[in-house]
Structure 1
Amino acid sequence: MSTETQLKERLLQTDGEFQQLAAKHHDLDSRLATLIGQPHLSAPEELEKGSLKKRKLQIKDQMEQILRRSRTITGSGLDPGVASAAGG
């Protein structure tokens, strides 16, 4: 498992804000998949699709900020004990 994946998993278990953002991102992704799967979208659905994409990107940016902050705190993104053992 990559360090990035480990960090995301740890944040999903320990960071309430990250958990909420991940859940919201998943919900938006599901709705977007439903819209994309339709053969034809009405004008309001097209607007919703664009809005969902923007909102998903905003949430992903917020999640990335939390990941960056966590990497800074823990060194390379590893648990502090692992970072110390790795010489970090």
Structure 2
Amino acid sequence: MLTDNVIMERLRQSNTEFRELEESHHRLDLELNDLQRRHVLTPAEELSKKQLQKEKLAKKDKMAEMIRVYRDHGLQATAH
């Protein structure tokens, strides 16, 4: 059975959407880290932080879904 890391590497190499999701997720993470380093956030920054967190989670969920689909497809291919 393939590990998530192996599947992720294969998706990075073969799937543009996965690469873009991963890059975007990383950029959002950096933006969130910048906001979290501040001691006090303005209301607008708090709102931005929450939106970034939601967007980051959505991208992570989509990547996890792609990994599941890849794993399921791989298992079906080896079962036949």
TM-superposition CA deviations, 1:30-73 (whole Å, max 9, x none): 00000001111111000000001100111111111111110011
The two structures, once aligned, show a CA RMSD in angstroms of: 2.0
Point out which structure has higher relative CO (alpha carbons under 8 A, 6+ apart). 2
**Greater percentage in helix:** 2
- Runs (5+) with no aligned partner, structure 1: none
Q: Work out the number of aligned pairs and report it.
A: 79
TM-score (norm 2): 0.88
Query: How far, CA to CA, are the matches of 2:67 and 2:43 in structure 1?
Result: 36
| Secondary structure of the corresponding residue to residue 58 of structure 1 | helix
TM-score by length of 1: 0.81
The match for 1:15 is 15
Task: Give the % identical residues.
Answer: 36
CA distance in 2, matches of 1:40, 1:60: 27
Name the aligned partner's letter for residue 71 of structure 1: R
Aligned structure 1 segments of 4 or more residues deviating by more than 4 angstroms: none
Aligned residue for 1:7, secondary structure, equals helix
How far apart are residue 75 of structure 1 and its match?
Answer: 1.2
